[in-house]
Structure 1
Amino acid sequence: MQKFIFSILILFPFVVVAQERFTISGYIEDNMSGERLIGANVLVGKARGVASNQYGFYSLTLPAGNYSLSCRYIGYKPAIKDINLSSDTVINISLSLGLELNEVQVTASKPGGNNAVSSLSHFTPGMETINRMPAILGEQDLLKSIQFLPGIKGGAENTTGYSVRGGSADQNLILLDGVPVYNVNHLFGFLSVFNSDAIKNVSLYKGGIPARYGGRLSSVLDINMKEGNMQQQHGVLSISPISARITYESPIAQDKAAYIVSYRRTMLDVPMVLYQKLIGLENTAGFKFYDLNAKANWLINPRNRIYLSVYSGRDKQFSKDNQDGINNKYYYKWGNLTSVLRWNNQLSQKLFFNTSVYYSQYDLTNLIESESEERYAKYNANSSLNDLSLTTDVDWFLSTTYTLRFGGKATLMHFAPNIVQTIDDEYETNRNQEDKNTAKNLEFYGENELTINKIKANIGLRAVLYDTGKKNYMSVEPRLAFKYNADNGFSGNVAFTKMSQFIHLLSNSSLGLPTDLWVGSTDEVAPQKSWQFSAGIEKRFIDYSFGVEAYYKEMKDVIRFEEGAVFLSSQNKNWIESINIGQGKAYGAEFMVKKEKGLLTGMLSYTLAWSERQFDEVNEGAWFPYKYDRRHDISLVGEYQFFKSDWQEKTFSFGFTLQSGNNLSIPDVEYQGLPMPGMEDYLGGVPEWSTTRQTYDNPNNFRMPLFHHLDIGYNTKRLISNGKTHTWTFSIYNVYNRMNPYYFYKDTHGKVKQVSIFPIVPSVGYKFTF
């Protein structure tokens, strides 16, 4: 099979380019801002066409002659150009807003859009629709919005973590401008790090994942930031009960260079600290977070463009107190830093070259410090992951029916999980220094996109070499996806995907905090691997479409962090001694009905799914249901447009979810153990969490009850003058006050108790654009 695929990669270019033809190429842009549009369809007639790539570039190779060239993109007026093709021609196309704004944008890709092959496996959620969906406390959130899609299941209530087709949260590759983001949570998971005002485009793959993506087992969420307005200054000011954010973009040199800056900060800590000061408390505590997105681009000439983008975000929980002459200070903080320098080069009218160097960092710190006249003590635990990569991608538009993509990536990663330092007047101890390690990674891929009559295919191969310093791992990953489009709106698809994952996320809730540690594969811990097969059909009508897709996935060498384990135990075990390595499988079927046109638009989906795990050391080696083995999942999301004119728009949105409950491990026995080293004198005594131990003989032995809630929202947008608008967003989360369980615990009598934290929650948000 591998030799056959390599033969295709090598031989196809020579077959296709044997005929002499002429090429039309250029960029698709928004006429008001100059933003490049991703996945715009450029068509010649009804049968031939291409979609613009991730940077808005398209290329069509045709025989000489007269053609009518049309360009279409959802939410924009189509552009039609008549051309006489007698030589290679450059045609840049500008589109203006004003058509099909009433179409739902939480939808599968249109045919040809963004190179999608499979409908239910590939979605492109529109940011306009996401920004009008019901929100808790006035904050629309990308990661919560995609949980309405089939095959995607949320974790705890109202959190951003999600599981795709039976996988774990760390098996989802999340990219921001092509850079992996290793922590996506603010506010302990209640809010994601992605500021919707700074996002231009989102693409989600669940199956049939193209060979250009790798490194995770379950899904890819590819997020692109806005580039900055090339034509005029533009800004957005938003405020909600949780945060305030401001976005500003402007040309540096009109039509040549531009930038965008977006900043978001929580509103929670300021009133909390002020209140504590006003009532005279010596103890202060609070929580805060921020996001900063910045991006600049420079059009050197029509063939070369440079981008520089940066993201920084951080959370911090803190407290200070003075008791009996002892000053205690505590903080827990975590965050990301990403940056990428990218060069786009149009080598020819058929060949598009993109190279970039990026850096991504995730770190967390847990600090406890006590000081008095007699003694000083400090406990500092920190973890970090540093990722430095060089990538190259080439798109070769050989004809209207064949595109070849290939590229590579070289990565240097450094892991420092849970490095602990304890200091007092008598000694200093540093633990887990041996857990630090550096890994090197080389990746290469080739991807063929073919259209043969009514069949569209994506055939690719990805090869990965991972070096731990002591051992090398090699992975060869074939990717196959085929789609048949009939003239009557019927389509069918099949896909096969093999993936590997060389990093692992250890999640531990024993400390009561989200202490997530990223670790790399070692000579003892092999990379995770998976393969997935999916098949589906879809039928499109005038206003509606219906689709169903089934999938089966197997996973090997998956990681399970032992229930009840702590990262630093009294025996000082490292993380490898606290994990189990096993296998998993997931299978199910997804159903979806969409209404895409009219005043009322929306989507109804149902997922029937199974997800199981098996570890030799757990449950006597028998298979058991995975945490997110939710058998049934029904989601309904929609929008009704009350009124629309040139100066005002009013919409009503709703979202309903009904799901089987998550599986939860309830401890069989709970007892008091020895405190962790160095914790005896902090905060006036030994913290209870540091001595509590549990045993879990039966994993996921408790299924939470049925989970459901209804959310509604109302949006009114009014044009004032010269592009200035006011937007008010009113929403109600959990309309009928369903007290869904957030977690369960055993009380002192051994009874299982439920804790719910989200009753009915009304909220309001305001946005001003200028």
Structure 2
Amino acid sequence: MNKLLYLLIVFPLLGYGQSTKRLTGYVQDAQTGERLIGATLFHPESGKGTTSNAYGFFSLSLPRGKQLVEARFVGYQRTTLELNLQQDTLIVVRLTPGLDLEEVTVKGRHNTSSHPELSNLSFNRINMETIDRIPVILGERDLLKSLQYLPGVKGGRENTTTYNVRGGSDDQNLILLDGVPVYNVSHVFGFFSTFNNDAIKSASFYKGGIPARFGGRLSSVLDISMKEGNMRKASGTFSISPISGRFTYEAPIKRDTASYLISFRRSFIDLPMVLMQKIYDSAQTYGFKFYDFNGKTNWMVNEKNRLYLSIYAGRDKQFHRSEYAGVSTRNHYQWGNLTGVLRWNKLFSPKLFANFSAYFSQYQYEQEAKSNSDETFTEFYTSSKLWDHSAKFDFEYYPATNYTLRFGGKYSHLVFKPNILQVKGNEYNQKFNDQYTNQSDLAELYFENDVQWGDFNINGGGRLSNYFADGEYYLHIQPRLAAGVKLGQGYSLTASYMLMTQHLHLLTNSSLGLPTDLWVASTGKVKPETGYQFALGMEKDFNQTYRAGVEAYYKQMDHVIRFEEGETFVNANENNWEESVLVGQGRAYGSELFVEKRKGRLTGMLSYTLAWSERQFDEVNNRNWFPFKYDRRHDISLMAEYELQTNSSYKKSLSFGFTLQSGNHLSVSDAEMPGIMPPGMQESVWSDLPEWFSTRKTFYEPNNFRMPSFHHLDIGYSSKRKRSNGKIYTWTFSIYNVYNRMNPWYYYKKDNEVRSVSVFPIIPSVSFTYKW
């Protein structure tokens, strides 16, 4: 252990002496003042370099005297800085947007120099401008759907935002918005994500070798940063598509000192439906709507202190109202998120940078149904709620150019109300499961050693978590290690190991009826999930134009949970959810391959994944392993863009997206039995109760049916024109499912026969964006 500490801490310092000076600063957009994440600072004479962190900060040790330093960032013109370092110096590097023809421009992904120890199959920096040109359904650009073109990332049902990474479940993906976990990321039952692209600055995606500063999930991390607001002048974006409208406005509060951003998106789905129902004086009113709001402000107190405040709110609501035969019914089904975070960046010295944060994240789902007549009154209400309040600190220490030490910690208090059920009537008012509210506390510490020795890069560290709930505590040590080495002739080899712990669980009903997902906490009876993953990969660069790589992985997961067969979220019995779940294990393994073209008029990536994912529970399937529902053996994805015309003021391009995947596994019921009706519902005036009230289904063999292969081709055309006054007009046309492949969206069983329903035929769409 002493030798290891010497290698990781002492040896890197040997190259640091009094003849060097520290160059620190921030990299930002010259036009807006936005800090740039992952920008590269390179000293050609020594071959040393570094990248800006999540707040645009960098620190580089250079020899005393006159020096030349190159600053680069994808989509910006390269800048050469002429410096005369006689003392430690703090600067601001301003990069101008625009293509540098001498640079390598990677479509869909930033150069991974910020994580040279990870392969392009384990880490991706997402290019937001490229996402805007990917063909999508109904003109809605979507960050989460774009991830599904990456190898090892598989979508749920067709055209949904949920995704599964390397054999994990969708709740095993940590999704952060300005450092705050978002617990529900779907609009319209998963068709669209909660993230408005107009408000997003950048995103980083990890699925292997996850650094120790991230924790709480087993499979992946998506770290999203919101725009900060234009520091130099007022600007805005207006976008409209067949499904929604978006408006974003940003402006300085005080030039180069403080700014703000507001962004709002609202769907149009309900407006024409309600209008037609009013025109025809319908006895029923029904519809669906959603909205998102993003707000952010930041204040540069001085060159060493900066404050940020970010807020996000989003909600979906499905509603139905009717008047018939003297009976009035009102139904709504809604869910949403609310997050907020206050952050303080502090530069203590040229070698020590810190960030302090306090945040909250709330998720709430509820369904309410009321029925009234002259003589009777019935109300049914069910809900699930989660509150997360946390405080954390993060430090980055730069003792030498080739060594960075990161360390920090977090304390969280979480409250769960997972399964509240209430039934009211003329003569009764009964509430169930309110006593099963759970509270838990989580304390975490981490450290990372990021070391570069020539062509060898290593990131080693660990995370310590202590989780308290129901009088029990769970202490976990989570080591992390990732290493990469350049072998010459364009070859590089990477390897990683990570041990992860997840203290939250998402319970999902096994049937295909009402969405019944709910977040629950680990308790004295249900332990946290744990998992480890090994990955080994090799890549090859071909003349900076082509890149190819392959990576194999193996993942083991323990204490994964699922509902017992026949159990659902709506449970009128006086049983805690813990009594209705099974605890088991999972495993996943496979290999991923990609080929990428990064230069020229035609750019893009072709990927293939061969994968297995299985689960095992003692109470299910005679204790035998069975396929996970998203066990898709083969996955081929293609994303490409062809530039038809490009100059300083006009750009036309064609984009293509194709995917071919093995089908999902589903549980088709073997038997059905009468269900237990909630008290009072037997006398309900409703004529047709939902099936999940009256029927329970059993599955002797889980995931016993595989859907047919899923595939579709999408094509898009984008025309972007920039006027001399700086205003930008963008038209985007797309065709989803060009050859009208009717992929089954779900299956059901009727008259002892399995039948399918397809939702998405060929769908053309158009969207318009105006920026000023």
Normalising by the smaller structure, the TM-score range is over 0.9
8 Å contact 1:285–1:318 — kept in the other structure?
Answer: yes
Tell me the equivalent position of 1:167: 168
- Alpha-carbon distance, 1:469 to partner: 3.6
- The yes-or-no answer on 1:467 pairing with 2:478 is no
Q: Are 1:103 and 1:601, in contact at CA under 8 Å, matched by a contact in 2?
A: no
1:353 aligns with 354
1:639 correspondence with 2:641: yes
- What CA distance in whole angstroms lies between the structure 2 residues aligned with 1:681 and 1:201? 54
Counterpart residue type for residue 703 of structure 1: R
Deviation at 1:323, TM superposition (A): 1.9
Change (3 A) 1:632 1:688: closer
Distance 1:105 1:376, change over 3 A: farther
1:626–1:330 CA distance, 2 compared to 1 (3 A): same
Q: 1:614 to 1:528 in 2, by over 3 A?
A: same
Distance 2:572 2:89 in 1: 71
Asked if 1 retains the 8 angstrom alpha-carbon contact of 2:512 and 2:746, the reply is no
Q: Secondary structure at the match of 1:144?
A: helix
Shift of 1:502: 0.2
Q: Is 1:728 equivalent to 2:731 in the alignment?
A: yes
Counterpart AA for 1:719: K
Tell me if the contact between 2:294 and 2:310 (Cα under 8 Å) persists in the aligned partners: yes
- Matched with 1:31 is 30
* 1:110 equivalent in structure 2: 111
CA distance in 2 between counterparts of 1:564 and 1:348 reads: 60
* Separation (CA, whole Å) in 2 of partners of 1:412 and 1:440: 5
Q: Give distance in 2, aligned partners of 1:192 and 1:103.
A: 31
Q: 1:343 and 1:744 mapped to 2: Cα distance? A: 50
Cα offset for 1:483? Answer: 0.4
Q: Which deviates the most, 251-260 or 568-577?
A: 568-577
Partner of 2:403: 402
Aligned-residue CA RMSD (Å): 1.8
Of 752, 757, 760, which aligns to 2:759? 757
- The Cα shift of 1:562 comes to 2.7
Aligned to 1:300: 301
1:344-368 CA distances to partner (integer Å, 9 max, x unpaired)?
0111111111001000000011001
Aligned pair in 2 of structure 1 residues 17, 69: CA closer, same or farther (>3 Å)?
A: closer
Distance 1:349 1:428 in 2: 64
Q: Distance in 2 between matches of 1:628 and 1:683?
A: 40
Secondary structure at 2:578 match in 1: helix
Q: Does 1:616 align with 2:618?
A: yes
Q: For residues 376 and 674 of structure 1, what CA distance do their matches in structure 2 show?
A: 21
User: Offset at 1:683?
Assistant: 5.3
Give the equivalent residue in structure 2 for 1:629: 631
In the alignment, which residue of structure 2 is the partner of 1:246?
247
Matched residue type, 1:384: K
2:592 alignment counterpart: 590
SS state of the match for residue 684, structure 1?
coil
2:315 and 2:565 mapped to 1: Cα distance? 28
Contact 1:666 1:702 in 2 (8 A): yes
What does residue 56 of structure 2 align with? 56
Question: 1:103 and 1:565, CA in 2 relative to 1: closer, same or farther beyond 3 A?
Answer: farther
Q: How does 1:86-235 map to 2 (within 5 A)?
A: 86-100=86-100, 105-107=106-108, 109-113=110-114, 117-235=118-236
Letter in 2 for 1:678: G
Instruction: Give the aligned partner of residue 268 of structure 1.
Output: 269
| Aligned CA distance change for structure 1 residues 100 and 596 (closer, same or farther; 3 Å) | farther
Contact 2:369 2:380 in 1 (8 A): yes
Q: How far does the alpha carbon of each residue in 1:100-121 deviate from its partner, in whole angstroms, 9 at most, with x for none?
A: 5896645554252366633210
Is 1:67 aligned with 2:70? no
Tell me, in whole angstroms, the C-alpha distance in 2 between the residues paired with 1:579 and 1:104. Answer: 49
Deviations for 1:518-552, whole angstroms, at most 9, x for unmatched residues? 10000000000000000100011121001000000
Aligned partner (choices 690, 693, 696) of residue 693 of structure 2? 690
Matched to 2:580, the amino acid is S
Instruction: Kindly indicate whether the alpha-carbon contact (under 8 Å) linking 1:104 and 1:601 is maintained by their aligned counterparts in 2.
Output: no
> 1:18-43: CA deviations, max 9, x gaps?
65631000000000000000000101
- Shift in Å at residue 89 of structure 1? 1.2
SS in 1 for 2:208: coil
Give the C-alpha shift of residue 82 in structure 1: 2.1
The one-letter code matched in structure 1 to 2:73 is Y
1:674 Cα offset (Å): 3.1
| TM norm structure 2 | 0.97
- Which deviates more from structure 2 when the two are superposed, residues 574-583 or residues 493-502? 574-583
Of residues 76-85 and 661-670 in structure 1, the stretch that sits farther from structure 2 once superposed is 76-85
Q: Map of 1:438-517 to 2, 5 A cutoff?
A: 438-508=439-509, 510=511, 512-517=513-518
Deviation at 1:675, TM superposition (A): 1.9
Amino acid at match of 2:234: Q
Q: Is the 8 A contact 2:107 2:598 kept in 1?
A: no
Inter-partner Cα distance in structure 1 for 2:190 and 2:511:
16
Name whichever of 9-18 and 686-695 sits farther off: 9-18
Structure 1 contact 34–255 (Cα < 8 Å) conserved: yes
Quick one: distance in 2 between partners of 1:385 and 1:12? 46
Could you tell me which of 677, 688, 707 is aligned with 1:704?
707
CA distance in 2 between counterparts of 1:560 and 1:375 reads: 39
Instruction: State how 1:417-432 maps to structure 2 within 5 Å.
Output: 417-432=418-433
Contact 1:381 1:419 in 2 (8 A): yes
Secondary structure at the aligned position of 1:148 is classed as coil
Q: Deviations over 1:690-716 (max 9, x none)?
A: 011111000011111111000000000
2:577 is aligned to 575
TM-superposed deviation, 1:161: 0.5
TM-score, normalised with respect to structure 1 = 0.97
In 2, Cα distance between the equivalents of 1:166 and 1:303? 44
Measure the CA separation in 2 of the matches of 1:160 and 1:234: 30
Residue 569 of structure 1 deviates from its aligned partner by 3.4
Post-superposition offset of 1:270: 0.7
- Equivalents in 2 of 1:670, 1:425: separation in Å? 32
Deviating above 4 A after TM superposition, structure 1's stretches of 4 or more consecutive aligned residues are 3-20, 100-109
Identity of aligned residues (%): 53
Q: What is the deviation of 1:227?
A: 0.2
- Choose 281-290 or 318-327, whichever is displaced more: 318-327
Conservation of the 8 A alpha-carbon contact between 2:164 and 2:630: yes
| Change in 2 beyond 3 A, CA 1:570/1:95 | closer
**CA, structure 1 residues 14+44, in 2 after alignment: closer, same or farther (shift >3 Å)?**
closer
Q: Deviations over 1:269-313 (max 9, x none)?
A: 011001001001021001000000000000000110000000000
Q: What SS does the aligned partner of 1:524 have?
A: coil
C-alpha distance in 2, partners of 1:103/1:233? 32
Q: Aligned AA for 1:694?
A: K
| 8 A contact 1:364–1:383 mirrored in 2 | yes
Check conservation: 1:116, 1:122, Cα contact below 8 A.
no
Counterpart contact for 2:337–2:363, Cα < 8 Å: yes
Question: How big is the shift at 1:8?
Answer: 6.4
Alpha-carbon distance, 1:9 to partner: 6.7
SS of residue in 2 equivalent to 1:276: helix
